[in-house]
């Protein structure tokens, strides 16, 4: 494949945008090549500036659960745009989206809209601190919860890719109240509680880790975490920015049968538009201004266009629950095919899946936590990525990101990708 126009656009972008991109993973740095610049997408396919076609397994990092440019996203959107795209005042559609979220998540009595997953997690932690009167919180090594300062401590996603677990610019004072435990290791959490008695406001966790690849929770870990936080008078926050409305309509908490105190959402609830939300028990949420003293605000929060796209998406998913069965079937097909290819070629690799999310790690270690994830061979992954790209598959341009399928992916798409995976692994062997 030729990428002449993409390369030229990247050179141009580097003159006016730091690193040529507006989010680091898009730079393709970890796979050692310039990024492809996208022109458009339709269904399961995405097309770059040079006219190359790829089956897309990024799906904008999860939001496009119905695929690119699905008709369902745009129902009534022209009318909504002509009415106005922002008011700085409340609108009825915010209520309708909130109602749909609350209906899907029994752990939420109230929900507040924001503009991103980062805003959602940042605000949820502030609310937890305000509610409990405590300052410290626990996160897990390798889990990414957005780029606010206190959360960029041993975080995942792009920070793993670039080898910067704690970003410069995050002060020691900011980080001192961030306690880090080991994912899937309840004893590591208990130790932090023992060392910080009565000081921990909340524990924030991805119920399925999706920012160090995909790492499912141990069968007892989340239930143990729920009991421990209850015993300690600490709030449990589920970061479902990725898993919310993706692994099930009610998110990972529906699958796991656990009710957190607070939940953060993003991605799918905006149908591809910038959006975030956080919600939880009424007594907690009523501590937010203007009802309570915990301040949170946003000029574009509840933006009517984002809300319309989100409502369209959530309505479609509610009316078509078979989407979730189909996504899991596609992911299972991909998993089985990749595993067969791994066995045939003898390449050291592990395929990991939870629902419709999956990841391919180039390691022979069982994947269960940050340390096992970090045994992955990133150089081999870079070669693999290039092999798959040249065969028309846009995989995550980093070892530590997940593979997403959409309702638009066909079984033929998956079969071709499995065949391309075999060829790519043979090229590596």
Catalytic residues: 144, 239, 267
Place of tokens 């501590």: 287
**Spatial separation of the C-alpha atoms in residues 124 and 102, rounded to whole Å:** 16
**Helix or strand holding residue 262 (H, E):** strand 262-266
**Spatial separation of the C-alpha atoms in residues 237 and 239, rounded to whole Å:** 6
Q: 393-394 and 38-42 as β-strands: parallel, antiparallel, unpaired?
A: unpaired
Q: How many helices (H) and strands (E) does the chain have?
A: 15, 14
Q: What is the CA radius of gyration of the chain?
A: 21
Asked if residues 202 and 235 have their Cβ atoms less than 8 Å apart, the reply is: yes
* Residues in CB range of 92: below 8 A, 6 or more apart: none
CA atoms within 13 A on the CB side of 245: 30
Q: Which two tokens stand for residue 325?
A: 């069965």
Span between the terminal Cα atoms of the chain, in Å: 22
What is the 8-class DSSP label of residue 209? B
């Amino acid at each position: 494949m030729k990428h002449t126009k993409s390369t030229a656009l990247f050179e141009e972008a580097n003159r006016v945008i730091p690193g040529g991109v507006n989010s680091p993973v898009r730079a393709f740095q970890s796979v050692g090549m310039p990024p492809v610049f996208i022109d458009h997408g339709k269904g399961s396919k995405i097309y770059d500036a040079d006219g190359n076609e790829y089956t897309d397994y990024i799906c904008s990092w999860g939001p496009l659960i119905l695929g690119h440019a699905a008709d369902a996203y745009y129902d009534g959107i022209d009318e909504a745009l002509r009415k106005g795209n922002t008011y700085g005042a409340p609108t009825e559609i915010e209520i309708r989206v909130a109602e749909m979220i609350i209906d899907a998540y029994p752990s939420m009595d109230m929900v507040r809209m924001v503009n991103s997953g980062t805003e959602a997690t940042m605000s949820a932690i502030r609310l937890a601190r305000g509610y409990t009167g405590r300052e410290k919180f626990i996160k897990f090594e390798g889990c990414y919860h957005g780029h606010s300062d206190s959360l960029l401590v041993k975080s995942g996603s792009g920070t793993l890719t670039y080898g910067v677990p704690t970003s410069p610019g995050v002060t020691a004072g900011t980080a001192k109240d961030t306690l880090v435990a080991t994912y899937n290791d309840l004893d590591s959490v208990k130790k932090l509680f023992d060392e910080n008695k009565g000081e921990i406001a909340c524990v924030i966790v991805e119920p399925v880790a999706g920012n160090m690849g995909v790492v499912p929770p141990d069968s007892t870990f989340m239930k143990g975490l729920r009991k421990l936080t209850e015993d300690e008078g600490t709030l449990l926050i589920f970061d479902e920015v990725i898993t919310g409305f993706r692994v099930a309509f009610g998110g990972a908490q529906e699958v796991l049968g656990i009710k957190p105190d607070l939940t953060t959402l993003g991605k799918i609830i905006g149908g591809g538009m910038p959006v975030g939300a956080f919600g939880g028990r009424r007594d907690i949420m009523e501590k937010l201004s203007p009802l309570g003293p915990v301040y949170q605000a946003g000029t574009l929060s509840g933006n009517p266009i984002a809300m319309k796209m989100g409502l369209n998406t959530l309505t479609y998913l509610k009316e078509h629950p078979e989407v979730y069965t189909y996504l899991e079937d596609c992911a299972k097909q991909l998993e089985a095919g990749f595993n067969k290819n791994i066995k045939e070629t003898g390449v050291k690799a592990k395929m990991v899946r939870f629902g419709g999310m999956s990841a391919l790690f180039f390691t022979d270690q069982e994947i269960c936590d940050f340390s096992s994830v970090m045994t992955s061979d990133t150089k081999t992954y870079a070669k693999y990525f290039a092999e798959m790209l040249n065969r028309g598959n846009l995989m995550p341009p980093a070892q530590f990101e997940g593979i997403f399928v959409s309702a638009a992916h066909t079984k033929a798409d998956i079969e071709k990708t499995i065949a391309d995976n075999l060829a790519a692994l043979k090229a590596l062997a």
